């Protein structure tokens, strides 16, 4: 990056948070610099301090946080700027987009209103001129029908469109630097690609520098000129993107680069018995309706889908959000009312009521995506894991249950001595292990895994994938693996179903789907996930 | 939206019907009658009175009779205040109670929201703690303690306010009762507001607003406050219904001729028609204010749509 004028120079930045457990240092004296027009990526896993670094620079830390060091923007230390001077820089010279497109816009105001506000504030334009500017910006980020969209509320737009609006707001005043904090993490893969392409194009057009905060090395490789790798509040390695990827120096960087889940699963023997079968499964939701409100709207979330899950098989169900993949998983476990035939272990369970399903529940388990919300915060880990035993093996004594908890936790790699602790004392990956232990303790035959790795860091994902594969081999399990993450699915599943809008668009053995996708939608999906061409030409 | 309002009002009719029916039979189940407790009422006179008011008819005849009159807006005569019909009593007393209640409500909403916002902006600092302390005091000291204190301090010692009476609605006469009514509500609103404002200030879109360099005023008032008032709006419905239909404690202590005392007096005296009248009025207020709350919700939050 020689020859570029440094416009943002972070030196000796420390960020501390005062918490009930004392002071926690999230960022431990780091140096980062950004040149004009340059794209810098800050990578690291959750808790590495990468977001807090930029939050501190923008003075957006939570009220219990404080920053020291210097953040020099064109000769001025942002950390010491007065409030009104600071607000002249924020949103104007340096702007920011965030990870959460669903919640980062004010739900109570129209898009137009929210776009116009920063334009008027920073440029002092009149209402009519600001409106024109806002329209221009919506066109710039390629929102269709911008006139109408000005009057829309955020809830009326998709995640991808909201992120486009966020970008429009951030670019409203022609910034020097755009800080993008995981801007695509919450979006579907195909939308991710669109947003990144848009950002790259806008950068070429407008020439701002971009600081890209992400955990996704694929994005870094395709996007950034230079990379900082952060771990536990420190920069462990920095360098030009190509150099860093081809010859990583630090062990942590090497580990990150190797963290992509690998391997593949062999299909079950052809004579393996079919355990769980769905024929023409259909789930319909009724929306609205009621007294004087007219006919309800019918939404077909799962549209006549047939699935045959054999013993020791893993079927990967992929699709974007709203495709009906989770609904299908739940319907097959009879957790949702559905039409069609569902058979488990050669018994028709399509019409089994709660009473009849109860003894089968232990053999049909479910693991959820969110390791934070799915464990009761008021129960110890031991209680969480053994709760199912109370229902399914009530004859066990307290001591026997405890013994089972110890075994189950050991099996998923959690220290059994920690069983009297509460879920909040564990990390995301550990919690997901606990959730898996809760399912495994019942010795199930079929486990539906609903995005079990999506909320986890890459290196942790890999561990969970390994764990799941190991458990499958040891206990002859069958998995229904629901995910939008194709690289994880590829490592887990031997058969893949691609879903879109409640229907199967393509299905087949994993390798066939990955190597020769037939359907155009599958092809787009694969391209978005695996393509490694750069979004922008190297500057 | 109009269709929604219409639908809601239509569904209110069966609700009201159930309330009226329950209240009608419940009060009749209570032992005694409107003319039992009068001293020295000879059996003949009592029988006469009961015949006059149709109290000897079978209960279901009385019930149908009452429903018919109610449908015509006739609440019937009061048994214990024989010079007045229930309708007349409400026509005189309700405007007074509504005036006091509405003033107290407005005061509580304004002052409570302001205090709550100040507390939220100074979370865990001196300003916050003092508001919380005030709010705790406000909600723990009962009105029958606050009212006499106001009378003693402002009425007797400093002679700034009249001790009681309505004074034909003179402003000074309203201060004491309105303050007494408002104080606990201020406390509740302040606590609610503090909680929802803190949550609102921590939301992602507030972070966006700050990152865009918007002024503190815009961040707090335009973006945080609007989202934070939603819990206050929900609270206001039942609170308004309760405040506007009068408070027996406040009206008794300050000698205000409102309707608040009717409910208790009428129930004790088995004044069937007055009890029923009070029940119907409170029910209508509650239904209407809950409807207003739901409409306000849609006004504040565009995601809420009724159609």
Chain B residues inside the 8 Å CB shell of A137: none
Of A86, A88, A292, the CB nearest to B7: A292
Measured between CA atoms, the residue of chain B closest to residue A294 is B307
| Residue B2 belongs to a domain | no
Interface touch B7/A103, C-beta < 8 Å: no
Q: Are strands A76-77 and A65-73 parallel, antiparallel or unpaired?
A: antiparallel
Q: What is the DSSP string of A245-268?
A: HHS--SHHHHHHHT-S-----PPP
Chain B residues inside the 8 Å CB shell of A63: 123
Question: What size, in residues, is chain A?
Answer: 539
Alpha carbons B251 and B257: distance in angstroms, whole number: 7
Alpha carbons A238 and A31: distance in angstroms, whole number: 10
CA distances to A57, A135, A220, B99, B205 from A8, rounded to whole Å, are 10, 30, 20, 61, 25
Interface touch B204/A103, C-beta < 8 Å: yes
Measured between CA atoms, the residue of chain B closest to residue A168 is B212
Buried (b) or exposed (e) across B255-280, using 16+ Cβ within 10 A?
Answer: ebebbbbbbebbbebbbbbbbbbbbb
Interface touch B204/A90, C-beta < 8 Å: no
pLDDT digits (tens, 9 = 90+) for B45-76: 888 888 888 888 888 999 999 999 988 888 88
Residue B203, φ and ψ in degrees, nearest 5: -75, 160
Q: What is the DSSP string of A188-227?
A: -HHHHHHHHHHHHHHHHHH--EEEEEES-HHHHHHH-SEE
pLDDT digits (tens, 9 = 90+) for A364-416: 999 987 777 788 888 999 999 999 999 899 999 999 999 999 999 999 988 99
| Residue B27 belongs to a domain | no
Ranges of each domain in chain A: 274-363+444-530
Q: Tell me what pLDDT residue A277 has.
A: 93
Token pair for A305: 């889908």
Residue A151 has pLDDT above 80, yes or no: yes
Q: Tell me what pLDDT residue A537 has.
A: 47
Tell me the Cα Rg of chain B.
24
Residue A287 contacts B, CB cutoff 8 Å: no
Alpha carbons A447 and A344: distance in angstroms, whole number: 13
Residue A227 has pLDDT above 50, yes or no: yes
Q: Tell me what pLDDT residue A534 has.
A: 64
Residue to substitute from A84, A104, A211, interface B, most B β-carbons within 10 A: A104
Residues with Cβ within 8 Å of residue B129, at least 6 apart in sequence: none
Q: Within chain B, how many helices (H) and strands (E) appear? A: 13, 0
8 Å CB contact between A102 and A185:
no
| Residue B37 belongs to a domain | no
Domains: count for chain B: 1
8 Å CB contact between A176 and A36:
yes
Tell me how close the Cα of B211 comes to any Cα of chain A, in angstroms: 6
Residue B295 structural domain: 86-300
Residue A148 contacts B, CB cutoff 8 Å: no
- From the list B195, B197, B186, B101, the residue with the least C-alpha distance to B139 is B186
The ipTM (two decimal places) reads 0.81
Q: Tell me what pLDDT residue A1 has.
A: 45
Is residue A323 very low, low, confident or very high in pLDDT (cuts 50, 70, 90)? confident
- From the list B205, B224, B211, B202, the residue with the least C-alpha distance to A171 is B211
3-state secondary structure A93-154: CEEEECCCCCCCCCCCCCHHHHHHHHHHHHHCCCHHHHHHHHHHHHHHCCCCCHHHHCCCCH
Please report the residues numbered 379 through 408 in chain A whose beta carbons come closer than 8 angstroms to any beta carbon of chain B.
Answer: none
| Residue B56 belongs to a domain | no
Residues of chain B with pLDDT under 50: none
pLDDT digits (tens, 9 = 90+) for A446-459: 999 998 887 788 78
Residue B177: strand, helix, or coil? helix
Interface touch A292/B3, C-beta < 8 Å: yes
Q: Are strands A39-43 and A226-231 parallel, antiparallel or unpaired?
A: parallel
Is residue A533 very low, low, confident or very high in pLDDT (cuts 50, 70, 90)? low
* pTM, entire model: 0.81
pLDDT digits (tens, 9 = 90+) for A93-122: 999 999 888 889 999 999 999 999 999 999
CATH of the domain at B92: 1.10.3720.10
Residue to substitute from B208, B296, B305, B307, interface A, most A β-carbons within 10 A: B208
Return the percentage of chain A with pLDDT > 70, whole number: 96
Measured between CA atoms, the residue of chain B closest to residue A120 is B214
Ranges assigned E (strand) in B98-228: none
Residue A538 has pLDDT above 70, yes or no: no
Count of A-B CB contacts under 8 Å: 84
Residue A294 contacts B, CB cutoff 8 Å: no
| Residue B189 belongs to a domain | yes
Residue A261 has pLDDT above 80, yes or no: no
Please, which residues bridge with residue A344 across strands?
A: A276, A347
Into which CATH architecture does domain A274-363+444-530 fall?
Answer: 3-Layer(aba) Sandwich (3.40)
Of B203, B210, B300, the CB nearest to A60: B210
Interface touch B213/A292, C-beta < 8 Å: no
| Residue B184 belongs to a domain | yes
């Amino acid at each position: 990056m020689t020859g570029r004028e440094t416009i943002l120079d972070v030196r000796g930045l420390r960020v501390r948070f005062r918490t009930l457990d004392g002071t926690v240092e999230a960022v431990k004296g780091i140096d980062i610099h950004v040149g004009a027009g340059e794209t810098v990526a800050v990578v690291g896993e959750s808790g590495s301090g990468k977001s807090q670094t930029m939050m501190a620079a923008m003075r957006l830390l939570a009220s219990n946080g404080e920053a020291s060091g210097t953040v020099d923007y064109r000769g001025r230390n942002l950390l010491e700027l007065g409030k009104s001077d600071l607000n002249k820089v924020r949103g104007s010279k340096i702007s920011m987009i965030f990870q959460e497109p669903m919640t980062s816009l004010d739900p109570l105001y129209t898009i137009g209103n929210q776009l116009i506000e920063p334009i008027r504030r920073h440029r002092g334009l009149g209402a009519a001129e600001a409106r024109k500017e806002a329209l221009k910006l919506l066109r710039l980020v390629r929102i269709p029908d911008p006139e109408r969209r000005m009057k829309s509320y955020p809830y009326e737009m998709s995640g991808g469109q909201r992120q486009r609006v966020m970008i429009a707001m951030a670019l409203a005043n022609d910034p020097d630097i755009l800080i993008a904090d995981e801007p695509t993490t919450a979006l579907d893969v195909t939308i991710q690609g669109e947003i990144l392409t848009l950002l790259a194009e806008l950068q070429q057009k407008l020439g701002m520098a971009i600081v890209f905060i992400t955990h996704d090395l694929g994005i870094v490789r395709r996007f950034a000129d230079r990379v900082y790798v952060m771990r536990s509040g420190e920069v462990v390695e920095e360098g030009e993107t190509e150099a860093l990827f081809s010859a990583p120096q630090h062990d942590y960087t090497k580990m990150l680069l190797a963290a992509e889940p690998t391997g593949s699963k062999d299909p079950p023997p052809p004579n393996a018995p079919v355990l769980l079968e769905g024929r023409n499964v259909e789930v319909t939701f009724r929306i609205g309706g009621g007294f004087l409100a007219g006919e309800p709207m019918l939404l077909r979330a799962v549209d006549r889908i047939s699935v045959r899950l054999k013993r020791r098989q893993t079927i990967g169900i992929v699709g974007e959000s709203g495709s009906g993949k989770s609904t299908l998983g739940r319907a097959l476990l009879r957790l949702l009312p559905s039409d069609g035939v569902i058979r488990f272990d050669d018994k028709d369970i399509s019409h089994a009521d709660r009473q009849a399903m109860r003894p089968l529940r232990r053999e049909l388990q479910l693991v959820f995506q969110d390791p934070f919300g799915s464990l009761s915060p008021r129960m110890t880990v031991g209680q969480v894991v053994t709760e199912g035993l109370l229902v399914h093996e009530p004859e066990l004594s307290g001591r026997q249950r405890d013994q089972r908890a110890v075994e189950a936790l050991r099996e998923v790699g959690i220290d059994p001595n920690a069983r009297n602790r509460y879920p909040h004392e564990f990390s995301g990956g550990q919690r997901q292990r606990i959730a898996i232990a809760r399912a495994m303790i019942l010795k199930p035959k079929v486990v539906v895994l609903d995005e079990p790795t999506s909320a986890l860091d890459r290196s942790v994902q890999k561990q969970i994938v390994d764990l799941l594969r190991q458990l499958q081999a040891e206990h002859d399990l069958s998995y229904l693996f629901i995910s939008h993450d194709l690289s994880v699915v590829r490592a887990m599943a031997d058969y893949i179903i691609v879903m879109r809008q409640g229907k199967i668009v393509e299905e087949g053995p994993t390798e066939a789907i990955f190597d020769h996708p037939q359907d155009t939608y599958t092809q787009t999906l694969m391209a978005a996930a695996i393509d490694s061409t750069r979004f922008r030409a190297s500057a | 939206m109009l269709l929604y309002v219409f639908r809601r009002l239509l569904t209110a009719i069966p609700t009201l019907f159930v309330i009226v029916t329950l209240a009608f039979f419940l009060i009749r189940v209570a032992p005694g009658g409107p003319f039992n407790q009068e001293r020295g009422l000879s059996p003949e006179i009592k029988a006469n009175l009961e015949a006059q008011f149709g109290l000897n008819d079978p209960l279901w005849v009385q019930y149908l009779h009452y429903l018919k009159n109610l449908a015509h807006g006739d609440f019937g005569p009061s048994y214990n205040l024989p010079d007045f019909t229930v309708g007349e009593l409400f026509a005189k007393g309700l405007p007074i109670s509504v005036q006091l209640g509405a003033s107290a409500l407005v005061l509580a909403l304004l002052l409570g929201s302001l205090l709550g916002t100040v507390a939220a902006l100074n979370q865990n600092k001196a300003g916050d703690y003092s508001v919380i302390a005030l709010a705790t005091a406000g909600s723990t000291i009962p009105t029958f303690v606050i009212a006499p204190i106001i009378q003693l301090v402002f009425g007797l010692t400093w002679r700034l306010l009249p001790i009681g009476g309505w004074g034909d609605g003179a402003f000074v006469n309203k201060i004491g009762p309105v303050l007494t009514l408002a104080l606990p509500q201020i406390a509740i609103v302040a606590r609610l507001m503090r909680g929802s404002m803190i949550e609102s200030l921590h939301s992602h879109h507030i972070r966006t607003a700050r990152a865009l360099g918007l002024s503190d005023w815009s961040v707090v008032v335009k973006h945080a406050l609007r989202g934070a008032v939603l819990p206050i709006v929900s609270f206001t419905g039942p609170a308004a219904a309760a405040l506007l239909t009068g408070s027996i404690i406040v009206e008794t202590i300050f000698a205000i001729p409102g309707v608040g005392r009717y409910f208790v007096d009428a129930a004790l005296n088995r004044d069937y028609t007055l009890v029923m009248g009070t029940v119907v009025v409170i029910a209508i207020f509650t239904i209407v204010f809950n409807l207003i709350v739901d409409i306000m919700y849609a006004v504040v939050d565009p995601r809420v749509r009724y159609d």
